[in-house]
Amino acid sequence: MTIEEFASFERRQGERIHQINGIYWRRVRPLFYRPLLPYQEYPPPSVSSPLAAFFGGFQHAVSPHEGTNSFLNLLIFENPKAYCLGDLDRHERREIKRAADDFTVSLVTDVNEFKVQAYRVYLSFYERTKYEYKSERRDAGNFSKWADSLFQNPKVIVLGAYKKNRELGAIGVWHLVEDTLVYSTFFCETESLKMHATGFMLHKVQEAAAGCQAIKQIFIGNYKYTAVKGVDDFYLARGCKLVRKTAFLHINPLTAFFLKRFLPEQYARLRGDAIKDAQGDRDFERATPSQNEKPSICTIPGGDKGSRIEQGHPAAMTAPCSAARLEAAKTIPVAARGQGCCGAASPLQPESLTKIETRPLDLGAS
In-domain check, residue 122: no
pLDDT tens digits, one per residue of 331-354: 333 333 333 333 333 333 323 343
In-domain check, residue 42: yes
pLDDT tens digits, one per residue of 115-135: 999 999 999 999 998 988 888
Answer whether 0.85 is exceeded by the pTM.
no
Output the pLDDT for position 230: 73
In-domain check, residue 221: no
Residue 225: alpha-carbon gap to chain centroid: 15
* Tally of structural domains, the chain: 1
Instruction: Please answer whether residues 24 and 33 qualify as being in contact, where contact means their C-beta atoms are separated by less than 8 angstroms.
Output: no
The CA–CA distances, whole Å, from 34 to 70, 168, 218, 223, 362 equal 13, 35, 19, 14, 44
Give the contacts of 300 (CB within 8 A, at least 6 positions apart): 232, 233, 236, 242, 275, 277, 278, 282, 284
Instruction: Please answer whether residues 235 and 220 qualify as being in contact, where contact means their C-beta atoms are separated by less than 8 angstroms.
Output: yes
In-domain check, residue 23: yes
Is 2's pLDDT higher than 50? yes
Q: Which domain holds residue 47?
A: 3-71+247-289
Average pLDDT over residues 213-217: 94
In-domain check, residue 16: yes
Q: Which residues of 29-45 are buried (b: 16+ CB within 10 A; e: fewer)?
A: eebbbbbbbbeebbeee
The type of residue at 83 is: Y
In-domain check, residue 194: no
Is 356's pLDDT higher than 60? no
More confidently predicted of 344 and 142: 142
In-domain check, residue 298: no
In-domain check, residue 137: no
pLDDT tens digits, one per residue of 71-130: 999 999 999 999 999 999 899 999 999 999 999 999 999 999 999 999 999 999 999 989
Is 267's pLDDT higher than 80? yes
